[in-house]
Amino acid sequence: MKYFSLNQQAPAVSFQEATILGQAPDKGLYFPERIPQVNKSLIDALQTTSNEEIAFQVIHPYVGNEIPDELLYTIVQETVNFPIPLVPVTDQIAALELFHGPTLAFKDIGARFMSRCLGYFVGQQQRKEKVVVLVATSGDTGGAVANGFYDVEGVEVVILYPSGKVSSVQEQQLTTLGKNIQALEINGTFDDCQQLVKQAFSDQSLTDRLFLTSANSINVARWLPQQFYYFFALKQWQDQEHPPVISVPSGNFGNICAGLLACKSGLPVSHFIAACNANDVVPRYMQTQQYETMKAVPTISNAMDVGNPSNFVRILELFHQNFPELQQKFTSVSISDQETKATLKRVYEQQHYLLDPHGAVGYLALERYLNEHPQERGIVLETAHPVKFYDVVEPVTGDPVPLPDALSHIMKLPKLATKMDPSYEALRSFLLKMK
């Protein structure tokens, strides 16, 4: 499989090159030259096939022979070795819980897969210099990447996060590991962090001296494995004759883009909903066909506070820039903080199910869609454990969120972070000192 840049000004590359480079030299996102079709026999046998086997068959065409099959199977085993249950909430809605991994967020899947692929590629190339993974986070990416790459030989990780705009739990997860993980607390927004990362990758005088790659969902090795849990959801879906509507809390749009890719590959899904908070670039686009970025607005669903979602260009490519075709399969709506809190409270009291703020955004968007399409049933992706946002959730429900064992020791560790203004020169100087 080759990968081409969506900016069309760079040569096509292999999976290994796309993983190591992260972004194409022309600043475009890499995209597979073709969409492989999943064997129909796998779709028919989902319920009796192991998660590891499903994941291996889904990802293999994208990797090809660049990783030996036996090792690739081991990588996917380690990537999906925790529960991903589909939990009924009402007769019409089920929640796919993606928060049972080591950092209690859906990004564990992509980060674990990518870290193992990159570790293999770096080892094969026997590089003298270390690879520097440079990543911006609006919350959960940072913790997942830090955990996935922790102590990986030959790899240094630098995580940029917006000061005061991630939850206290998220901050502890990405700032307390040390060793090869360094956190930069940026006095700005996620978009500032993302812009700094993009500037670094486009600075040839820097990339000539430092081997940089990205672990954001712009990287194909982070984005592609997110398809796995859409297949796992359908494996547990009881009504095999009527595919579900799937509602995805969306910020940078890598998650829902992976679901749409799975669907284009043959996974039966009736419709997708991109559920956004006040950062409504895509909902406005779907109404007007005018794509206008915005300055990110802070909300209680902070991981979706993105005013310039990178992965939406991949969604447009999936649908060949054909708006009517996109409209048939894809809806996007904006949910306010007030509506998010009301939904969280109502579902907790009436259904005895505790959503996190992002899941609440997705739940209300799905509920409204199903009210207009009563013959349908759906799945909401619960992307993070509610405890990661206990400071939002507890005042709404009036009850404490139990602290999982995985977090209890992290909350006592000292924060290790370097404060920095959103200045590219400051970031550049920091990175060059790592050489």
Enumerate the active-site residues. 107
Which of 264, 292, 260 is closest to 273 using CA atoms?
260
φ and ψ at residue 270, rounded to 5 degrees: -70, -45
The phi and psi torsions of 386 (rounded to 5 degrees) equal: -55, -25
Residue 77, judged by CB atoms within 10 A of its CB (0-12, 13-18, 19+), counts as middle
CA–CA separation, 348 and 353 (whole Å): 5
Judged by DSSP in three states, 299 sits in coil
Question: Whose CA is closest to 222, among 164, 298, 142?
Answer: 142
Q: How far, in Å, CA of 240 to CA of 222, rounded? A: 29
Copy the structure tokens of residue 330.
Answer: 């894809």
The two tokens of residue 102 are: 């080591």
Closest CA to 220 of 317, 96, 85, 126: 317
The size of the chain, in residues, is 435
- Which residues in 314-339 are b (16+ Cβ under 10 Å) and which e? bbbebbeeeeeebeebbbbbbbebeb
What token pair was written down for 103?
């950092």
Phi-psi region of 245 (alpha: psi -120 to 50; beta: other; left: phi over 0): beta
Backbone Cα Rg of the chain: 20
- Contact yes or no for 158/431 (Cβ under 8 A): yes
362 vs 177: CA distance, rounded Å: 31
Give dist(CA 79, CA 60) in Å, integer. Answer: 14
φ, ψ at 418 (rounded to 5°): -105, 125
